[in-house]
Structure 1
Amino acid sequence: MRLTKLSIIIPVYNEAATVLEILNKIKSVQLIHNIKKEFVIVDDGSQDASKQLVHHFINENPTLDIQYHEHEENQGKGASIQTGISNATGEFLIIQDADLEYNPAEYNVLLQPILDDVADVVYGSRFLKKEKKRTSYFWHYNANKFLTFLSNIFSGLKLTDMETCYKLLNSEIVKKIQLSEKRFGFEPEVTAKLARIKGIRVKEVSISYESRRYNEGKKIGWKDGVRAIYCIVKYGLFRMN
C-alpha cells in the first residue's frame, strides 16, 4: 500500500496544560517520504480551557489539515478514538494522547515497518528495550506487564506492551472492526479483535516514554485495570472458541 497521509487521532479531555504543546510538537514533525499529516482532534467534553486553546491553534494554522470534533458530554477516551477512526481519511492512523507522555518525533520509527511492508499494525512499546525513561508508578508498570501477559494468552500475540497509546493502524482494517469500549478498555479490545484477523502482521518498535503523575493530570486508575482484565477475557474468548 502506498502511504500518502497519516491521520493523527488526538483525544482531548481537560488537557489545557499540555494540549497546545503537543499540537505544536505534532506540527513540527516532518514525516518520511513526504507523508502528509491529518490532525483529527476530538474534544471529549472538556471543562477547562482545552477547547479554546485547540480553536486558537486551528485559527493560527489555517494551512494545516485539521478536523475538529466535539462531544457535548464526556464519554471516555475509547469513545473519542472511535469518533476519530470513523472520520480519519489517511491510509493509516495513529493515536496520540494530548499529554506529553509520548513523543510525536517517533512517528517515523513506527512508520518504517509499514513502509518496509513487514507490518499492517505497529505498536510502540515502552518496554521492548531498557532506556532512560521517566518511569511509571510501580503498580502501574507491573499492572501493564501483567495485562500484556494476559492479553497474549488470549490473543496469541507476543507483545511486550499491549496498553501502549502508540498504535499505528491500517485505517481500512480498523474501520471494519466494531469497537464498543468507551474508556480505556479500547486497548485490550482492539488488540483482541486485531488478533482475530487472519494473516495480520503485528510488529512492535521501541519508543521513549515520560510518565506523568496524577497531580499532573494522569487519569487512568485501578478500576480501568479491572475493566481491562474483563475486556481481555471477554473479547479473547471469542477467538479461542
Structure 2
Amino acid sequence: MSFQRIAVVMPAYNEAAGIAEFLLEIHEHLAPLASELDIVVADDRSTDATAAVVAGLGLDRVQVQTQTRNRGHGPTALAAYVAGLQLSPDVVVHVDGDGQFAGNDIARVLGALEATGADVVHGVRRGREDPWFRRALSFGLRVAVRPFAGRGVPDINTPLRAYRPQVLQQLIDAVGADAIVPHVHFSLAEARCGLRVTSVPVRSLPRRGGETVGTMWGGNGQPKLPPKRLRSFVRHALGELWRLSLRPSAPMLALRTASADLRSRVADAA
C-alpha cells in the first residue's frame, strides 16, 4: 500500500481485560501497510487499569491519552480524532476499544480506501449480537434520517471508519468537541456533501475480555428491556441530532452548501 503514515484512534473506557489483545492484533495487521503506524488510545478516565495496560504493552508508537474527566463515548472519540490528526497522517482510522472488529477487517477497510480513492470508508457491521432494542434503534434511526441524507446509509453509527484527514478535519470543525453521537452527524454530512463513501462488510465480534456488553447497558448481561441510562441517552441524542444536523440553521447542515469548497480543499491537498 502507498500509505506513509496511518493513525489509528481509539476511545476506551474500562477495557483493561481485552484491549491488549486488540491492540496487538491491530498492530499485526496494519503495521505492514505503512511506513509508520501510530495508535492513540483516548482513555475516558477508566476506573480499571486500561491506561496502565496500554502503557505496559511496549509497542512502538502506541500512546494513551487520559482525558481530564469522564465525558462519554462521543466526546472521547472526537478527542481521539483530534489527537490522530495532530500526527499529520495520510489516513485516520477510528475503532472502539471494545475490540468488536477483527484486525484483518480493519486492514480491508484501509485497502478499500486506497483502491477506490474514497474520502471515507465505513465498516458495515454484520452478525451483530446486540440486544433487540439496540438493533431496533439502529434500524429506526437509519430509516428516520434517510430523507435528510438523501440516500441510504447502511450502518449510520458504525465506529469503524477510515478518513482522509482533510475531510475529517472539516467534519470535526463543524460538529464541535462535545457531540455525543458524532458518527451519526458525520454520516449525514458525508451524504449531503456528496463525499465519496465506500462501505465494506465486516464481522461484528463479541466484546473482548469476557464482558458481554458495554458500559451503556448499566449492568452485567444483556437486559431484556432498554436500561434507564440508555433511554436517557437516546433522548439526549435525538435532541442533539435536531440541533446539530437537522434544523434549518444546524451547523452540520451548513456543510451541504459548502460541499464544493470541501471537495476542492481535498483535491488541492491531494
Structures share fold, TM-score greater than 0.5: yes
Take 2:196 and 2:69, find their aligned partners in 1: how far apart are those partners?
Answer: 36
Give the 5 Å matches for 1:93-104: 93-104=92-103
2:246 is equivalent to residue 236 of structure 1: yes
Tell me the residue number matched to 1:194.
Answer: 190
CA distance in 1, matches of 2:49, 2:10: 16
**Partners in 2 of 1:150 and 1:76 — Cα distance?**
24
Q: Greater Rg, structure 1 or structure 2?
A: 2
> For residue 205 of structure 2, what is the aligned residue in structure 1?
210
Which one-letter code corresponds to 2:240 in the other structure?
Answer: C
Task: Report 1:34-113 matches (<5 A).
Answer: 34=34, 36-57=36-57, 60-61=58-59, 64-88=60-84, 89=87, 90-113=89-112
Identity of matched residues, %: 19
5 Å matches for 1:218-229? Answer: 218-220=214-216, 221-229=230-238
Alignment partner of 2:56: what SS?
helix
Over residues 12-32 of structure 1, what are the superposed CA-to-partner deviations in whole Å (9 max), with x where a residue is unaligned? Answer: 211111111211111221466
How far the C-alpha of 1:138 sits from its partner, in A, is 0.9
Query: Retained in 2: the 8 A contact 1:151–1:162?
Result: no
User: Which residue pairs with 1:160 in the alignment?
Assistant: 154
CA RMSD of aligned residues (A): 2.6
Name the aligned partner's letter for residue 193 of structure 1. A
TM-score after normalising by structure 1: 0.83
Distance 1:181 1:153 in 2: 26
Letter in 2 for 1:137: P
User: Are the counterparts in 2 of residues 8 and 95 from structure 1 also a CA contact under 8 Å?
Assistant: yes
Is there any run of 5+ residues in structure 1 with no aligned partner, and where? Answer: 128-132
- Within the candidate set 168, 171, 174, 1:174 is matched to 168
- Give the TM-score normalised by the residue count of structure 2: 0.75
